[in-house]
Amino acid sequence: MKKPASTPKNSAKKSSLEKRRMAPLATPSDLSSEGTRDIGGALNRLLADVFALYLKTKNFHWHVSGPHFRDYHLLLDDQATEIFAMTDMIAERIRKLGGPTLKSIGHIARTQRLLDNDADYVQPLDMLAELQDDNKSLTAFMREVHDLCDEHRDIATASLIENWIDETEQRTWFLFETSRRGDSTGH
């Protein structure tokens, strides 16, 4: 069977299609290239921190012990689930802006600002305090990204960050309240 002859119009379409297929992962955006670069970079740092916080929260969830085991275990599992849900939204927002995302555990390790905790044993209240501090730091990082989004008029990313800040502040609050020592009556 013989292929139909190419017309100039068909050749132009084919050429355009081939260029798009070979183009880098540059999603079209109305933001400036500087805005895309700056916000994408800031979101990747945030993504690395969120992955680090997720793994630390799961680590503490797996290794918590003591008389409040069940309460702490369930709290940390709920928080880890909430934190993990942020990762896909952050990565997809980076891609919507036309930027590349983190690609590996090594990339996360090189990018994260939150510290890991590889200790064999951590006291339960120390776990809660450390996670509280990490969530407070994450809130501060998100406020910085929000300011950057405002500079570049990226309303959609700023809006997402506002919700994540609220979730993170709630985690901080729960960790604070859970770690408070009661009085002698247990209240």
What is the SS3 assignment for 102? Answer: coil
**What pLDDT is recorded for position 181?**
79
Yes or no: say if 61 and 82 are a contact pair by the CB < 8 Å rule.
Answer: no
| Average pLDDT, integer, range 58-84 | 98
Residue 164 has pLDDT above 90, yes or no: yes
pTM to 2 decimal places: 0.84
Mean pLDDT of 144-165: 99
Q: Indicate if the alpha-carbon torsion angle 63, 169, 49, 43 is positive or negative.
A: positive
Residue 3 phi, psi dihedral angles, 5° rounding: -70, 145
**Amino acid symbol at 7:** T
Report whether 94 contacts 40 (CB < 8 A).
yes
CB distance 146 to 165 below 8 Å = yes
pLDDT tens digit string along 76-90?
A: 999 999 999 999 999
- Whether 32 has a pLDDT exceeding 80, the answer reads yes
Could you please state the CATH topology (level 3) that the domain comprising 31-179 is classified under: Ferritin (1.20.1260)
- Segment 33-46 shows an average pLDDT of 97
- H helices of 64-154, in order, are 69-96, 105-111, 124-151
The chain-wide mean pLDDT, for the chain, equals 91
